[in-house]
A and B are shown apart, each in its own frame.
Chain A
Amino acid sequence: MAEYSLKTPLSDGDVERLKIGDAVRLSGVIYTARDAAHKRMVEGLDKGQPLPFDIKGTLVYYVGPSPTKPGNVIGSAGPTTAYRMDPYAPRLMEIGMKGMIAKGKRSDAVKEAMKKHKVVYLGATGGAAALIAKCIKKCDIIAYEDLGPEAVRRLEVEDLPLIVVGDCHGGDLYIEGRKAWENKA
Chain B
Amino acid sequence: MDSNGVSSASDIRREIASLEAAKAQIEDRISTLQAQLSNCSSNGRAKEEIEENRFSAPSPTETISDGQLSADMIYRYSRHLLLPSFGVEAQANLLKASVLVIGAGGLGSPALLYLAACGVGRVGIVDHDVVELNNLHRQIIHTEAYIGRSKVESAAAACRAINSTVQIVEHKEAFRTSNAVEIMSKYDIVVDATDNVPSRYMISDCCVVLGKPLISGAALGLEGQLTVYNYNGGPCYRCLFPTPPPTTACQRCADSGVLGVVPGIIGCLQALEAIKVAGAIGEPLSGRMLLFDALSARIRIVKIRGRSLQCEACGENTTLTPQKFRDFDYEKFTQSPLSTSPLKLNLLPTNARITSKEYNERNIKGEAHVLVDVRPSHHYKIISLPKSLNIPLASLEARLWEISAALGRDEGDKTENDGSSASLYVICRRGNDSQRAVEYLHKMGFTSAKDIVGGLESWANDVDPKFPTY
A, B bound = no
Listed in ascending order, the chain A residues whose CB lies under 8 Å from chain B are none
Listed in ascending order, the chain B residues whose CB lies under 8 Å from chain A are none
